[in-house]
Amino acid sequence: MGTEMLEVIGEPIRVCAHFRQGWVSPLWFEWKGRCYRVEQIRNRWVTNEGVGRCYHFALMVEERDDLYEIYLRSETMGWHLGRIDVSG
Reported pTM? 0.89
Please write the tens of the pLDDT for every residue from 18-75. 999 988 999 999 999 999 999 999 999 999 988 899 999 999 999 999 999 999 999 9
- In the chain, domain spans: 4-87
Specify the pLDDT at position 22: 86
Task: Identify the three-state secondary structure at position 2.
Answer: coil
Helix-strand-coil split of the chain, %, nearest 5:
0, 80, 20
Checking phi first, is residue 76 left (phi over 0); if not, alpha (psi -120 to 50) or beta? alpha
Specify the pLDDT at position 15: 98
Terminal CA-CA length for the chain:
9
- The closest of 26, 28, 63 to 44, measured between CA atoms, is 26
